Structure 1
Amino acid sequence: MALLKRYGVYTALAAFFLYTLYSLSFPYQPEGPPAQQGKDSHDSKKGSNPPKAPLPPKSYNWAKLPIKYPVESMVALPTDEPTPLPKIQHTFKEEEATAKNIRQTRREEVKKAFETCWRNYRQKAWMRDELKPITGGSVDTFGGWAATLIDALDTLWIMGFKEEFTSAMKDVEKINFGSTPREQVNVFETNIRHLGGLLAAYELSSEDRLLKKAKEVGEMLYHAFDTPNHMPISRWDFHKAGAGENQTADESVLLAEIGSLSMEFTRLSQHTGDPKWYDAITRVTHVLEKQQGSTKLPGMWPIVVNARKPDFTHDNGFSLGAMADSTYEYLSKTYALLGGLDPVYKKMYEKSMETAIKHTLYRPMTPSNANMLMAGFVRVEDSTPTLAPKMEHLACFAGGMFALGGKIFDIPEHVAIGRKLADTCVWAYKASPAGIMPEVSHLFKCPNTTACEWDEKAWKEAVASKADLSTEKDPLQNIANLRLPEGFTAIDDRRYILRPEAIESVFILYRITGEQQWQAAAWDMFTAIQQNTQTEFGNAALLDVSADSPPKEDSMESFWMAETLKYFYLIFSEPDVISLDDYVFNTEAHPFKIPKPKA
């Protein structure tokens, strides 16, 4: 997960907390914040009078509610014979007995971790969005539509928990997507977790009830596009829309939230034969394509865009990381999902990656002088791009994105870049005292990406400058108090919230190259995560991975079972289990079948 992916927890507060962190190096000011995620409508206010009993939320039949701004002419869904893609996955040789035994043993350990989480979710948080892994409580964060249940359905199937999958079906059918106690719904999160999860589980199981539920989600989300210019509302007022009130798209929208709906909407149209979802998302794609060369960093789009005008060019902050990530991730993947029939996604991928390589990638300086890369954050002032060498756990998806795009579009340079990006994330895990990389940090940037020798004195001076130790009598002696591994100049956010992006890229690099070093790295990552996050009821987010014993937070996002454990399981599975030649993952790790030409 890509939110974003994957982007992770994508409530407005979390998103803009991170956005502030990313802008520490320069005072970047977007046009304005997106609307905040609304609190539960039944939350009581403080006061002397006792709170009134909450009214039951209204329920809407989205399929029958009239559209206020109907589309006059639909964009047709491509139905021609798909074009064959190049081979993506490595051709694996027969496995040695010892290696097979080790791999299977590790796979079973991952499976046990999932089983513990699922069992306790079912016993203590069933039909709620998330389990609290320390107290055994529960919380609704995404509409109250059993996010963990739906997010984990395809993982259940892939891991072989078929009885649990079948048993859960009757409760999945009961979920009412016409009702929520929340004032606002995050369209992006609902799309990648609920719509994506239902579609993938349907494709794996051929269970028609899942497609029916996916269509219910699609009918709901389609109403978020019911605006005068047909641009979607990302933080959507569910009840005002249900009441038939007029809607307009927002002036400040996160790029990832408007640009990462293409896979799921396309797939729903492909399965139902109804082009309206493909039409809806293609209108966003056309704006992205038309304005791609007119931004302040031509080829890429800024993190904040104006959907009301629509103007995707005005702002000046650019990144492959949080709040932008999955828009770029979906370019090559939607191309594959459409069978190569819409060349605009190839065009946008190649243009955006050309710019990203030139302006956002940098080489970190490390004691081992390893030839690695990371994607940073760029601000453009007076037509001059300035790169801040940040490292986000979210940005670790980029290694897999480059490697996969390099295979799909036959660009070997991108595969090599993907390897270097994934190497940096593996290194960041190993460098951390807990064996887990932090959420957000800064690295010591090399002068260029070709040659770089470790300079300890220069690194310490950079740390002292960034930490503002200028008033200290001996600033270099105080660096140890900052708890920074060599090569890090700052750690802005020391948390680990069970994110999947690093193992996602490690998995993709393993399946593309066949090199066992990626499996070894994955096992080190998994054991470190288990050792530090395991609780009585599941796995908990960590508050500080640089501490000797990282303190835990009572939070286990649905992507832990949907993405993180799924990728760990798949890297230790046989290569034909969800082969990259047959499937493409959405940013929540839900696999969709790649259409193939008829034999």
Structure 2
Amino acid sequence: MVDALDTLWIMDLKAEFNEAASAAAAIDWGNTHEKAVNLFETTIRHLGGLLSSYELSREPALLQKATELGEMLYIAFDTPNRLPGFWLNFDDALKGKQVAGIHDPSASPSSLVMEFTKLSQLTNDPKFYDATDRVTRFLLGIQNSTLLPGMWPMCLDFQNEAVHDNTFSLGALADSLYEYLPKMHALLGGLDENYETMYRTAADVIIKHLLYRPMLPKQEDVLFLGDARVGAKIELSTESQHLTCFAGGMFALGGKLFGIEQHVNIGERLARGCGWAYSAFPTGIMPEIFDLVACPTLEACEWNETLWKPQNNQKLPPGFRHARDPRYILRPEAIESVFIMYRLTADAKWQDMAWDMFQAIVKYTSTELANAAVDDVTSTETSKTDSMESFWFSETLKYFYLIFSEPDLISLDEFRHRYIPFPSPPTLNTTDLSQHHPSRAAPRFISGGFYDKCKDVRFYLAKADDTHPRKNSFNGYKSSPWLVAKCPDKNGEYLCTWLALSECLLNSEGSYIVEQMGIFTGRVRRMLLLALLMGI
């Protein structure tokens, strides 16, 4: 219910929204028999749903409830190194015994950043952003020292801040870590250039080692993502997941944001691949996990009937070697990328693709009451299972609704889409439906609340010439070793990151900045240093 609130609002089901919002506002987070909650799922579903529905409706009770939940989830960061565990265990939290995991999904602690950042923006309290920023700095620090430099493996040792795993994927356990990189760049208005750096670095490795073009009889120009396993050499596994269909939208958005036309093209071919996979199966729906034969390069290759050999008795379309998990569980990732491509290109072919997908899904998943997952999309005799994930309402139906709506309804010119996708207010504006990528020279700011003050600081920063030596030196102060050396007494401070150190930096270097750029007092001084550190 909570993560579908914004879907109700977008669909103009206001009576249903009001009823659901009243129920959500009455939730007592302390009234539970559970001993622990999944930090990742609770954040993206409940916290994200409340924040999104508040931003659309401006119903104060929803922000209040989101703040209550945020305060509870914030406790998960109370570990020795301030990196959270996979579970928020209430007994461990009360006893101060929480620790980060030694083999946790890399996407789990790494995918809290958008909701926590938005909560900081809406409440004027930087601590939520500060908490998740520590995770980002950890990821940044290890990105080029993994077994596949540039990417993060499926699991990480957050407790010891180490990397051991040798499997790299954009599928389950790692997906949203990568997806959030361009979206966080947009949410922060480009103020933290590290998200662009991390995205570009990871994308280069993904293209080189995980991307493949399948061998197909008609040589369709489509791409898919596999996994990479690192041993004596880097080996590509061509087993693909429905989950990885998000990558089409990720590459397309990243390409538009950062002006990388190659990424837009890759995003289109990935999205087209997922749409093709739907159409290839007799039900018109793609399976959860499947395998194809890869061409030697990303260019077309000749069909080889002998090389293509289904690995079991499954009756699969030409090109598919097996479907290890033939289910469809109402997932949104394929329609997500198709929707994004439509909004970026205004090409009606994406609507046609979406309509075919929608008709097939409705045909095979509809029940008397709602919709259900199906156990085998490779056969028209498939049966339904007693399962309907909440993302059916919060994501899948939302994308299908939006792709056939007027483009100014949650326009990509005005909103940035998150993983769920919950809409957020504008930061980087584009010009029209074709979504020309935002100019790097466009105004960049963090919208809302505490971070809105950065906009005021920008005026004073503009008074200093770009070649000013002190300004340049401040823009270079981004490394942890420098910060620790500059502010040794802050090294052990609770959740000590860039925000916690900004006052120390002002005391150390602020007088010269004040002298050269104007007179700043109180909060504005602190925001000046924050702005400089974040790269305005």
Question: 3-state SS of the aligned residue for 1:292?
Answer: helix
Aligned match of 1:250: 101
1:452 CA displacement: 1.0
Which residue does the alignment assign to 1:267?
A: 118
Give secondary structure in 2 for the equivalent of 1:391: strand
Tell me if structure 2 keeps the 8 A contact 1:152–1:558. yes
Cα deviation 1:232-251 (Å, max 9, x = unaligned): 1112213432x334211111
Q: Distance in 1 between matches of 2:129 and 2:381?
A: 48
Take 2:30 and 2:126, find their aligned partners in 1: how far apart are those partners?
A: 22
1:328 aligns with 2:160: no
| Unaligned 5+ runs, structure 1 | 1-148, 468-480
Question: What residue in structure 1 maps to residue 50 of structure 2?
Answer: 198
Higher relative contact order (CA 8 A, sep 6+): 1
**Paired residues of 2:73 and 2:88 also in contact (CA < 8 A):** no
- Give distance in 1, aligned partners of 2:224 and 2:337: 13
- Write out aligned runs for 1:223-302 (5 A): 223-241=75-93, 243-302=94-153
Match of 1:394 among 217, 225, 243: 243
Q: Is the 8 A contact 1:266 1:278 kept in 2?
A: yes
Q: Structure 2 counterpart of 1:189, which letter? A: E
Residues 424-573 of structure 1 correspond to what in structure 2 (within 5 A)? 424-460=273-309, 463=310, 466-467=311-312, 481-573=313-405
Question: Residues of 2 paired with 1:406 and 1:395: CA distance?
Answer: 17
CA shift, 1:259, in A, is 1.1
Higher share in helix: 2
Contact 1:196 1:586 in 2 (8 A): no
Structure 1 counterpart SS, 2:173: coil
User: Deviations along 1:33-57, whole A, 9 cap, x unmatched?
Assistant: xxxxxxxxxxxxxxxxxxxxxxxxx
Aligned mate of 1:165, from 17, 21, 25: 17
Summarize the alignment of residues 308-323 of structure 1 with structure 2, pairs less than 5 Å apart: 308-311=159-162, 313-323=163-173
Q: Please give the secondary structure, in 2, of the residue aligned with 1:459.
A: coil
Superposed CA offset, 1:55-109 (max 9, x none)? xxxxxxxxxxxxxxxxxxxxxxxxxxxxxxxxxxxxxxxxxxxxxxxxxxxxxxx
- What CA distance in whole angstroms lies between the structure 2 residues aligned with 1:416 and 1:345? 21
1:192-229, Cα deviation, whole Å (9 max, x unpaired) = 10111111101111111111111111111101111010
Q: Which runs of 5+ in 2 are unaligned?
A: 429-442, 446-454, 456-536
Aligned to 1:343: 193
Task: Check conservation: 2:2, 2:20, Cα contact below 8 A.
Answer: no
The aligned counterpart of 2:33 is: 181
Equivalent residues of 1:254, 1:305 under 8 A apart: yes
Mapped to 2, the partners of 1:441 and 1:161 lie a distance apart of 37
Q: Which residue of 1 aligns with 2:59?
A: 207
Q: TM-score, normalised by structure 2?
A: 0.79
Rounded Cα–Cα distance in structure 2 between residues aligned with 1:449 and 1:553: 37
1:560 shift after superposition: 0.2
Q: Distance in 2 between matches of 1:172 and 1:189?
A: 17
The residue identity in structure 1 corresponding to 2:278 is Y
The equivalent of 2:225 in structure 1 is: 375
Which amino acid in 2 is paired with 1:385? I
Q: Give the 3-state SS of the residue equivalent to 1:492 in structure 2.
A: strand
Between 588-597 and 273-282, report the one with greater CA deviation: 588-597
Does the CA-based 8 Å contact 1:178-1:220 persist in structure 2? no
Structure-1 residue corresponding to 2:271: 422
Please report how far the alpha carbon of residue 547 of structure 1 lies from its aligned counterpart in structure 2 after TM superposition: 1.9
Taking only the aligned residue pairs, the percentage that are identical comes to: 55
Runs of 4+ in 1 over 4 A off after TM superposition: 596-599
Offset, 1:386: 0.3
For residue 71 of structure 2, what is the amino acid of its counterpart?
A: E
Pair 1:154 & 2:3 matched: no
- Letter aligned with residue 4 of structure 2: A
Q: Deviations over 1:446-499 (max 9, x none)?
A: 121123122222213xx3xx44xxxxxxxxxxxxx4211111011100110000
**1:20-39, aligned counterparts within 5 Å?**
none
Write the deviation string for residues 491-541 of structure 1: whole angstroms up to 9, x where unpaired.
Answer: 100110000000000000000011111000100000000000000110001
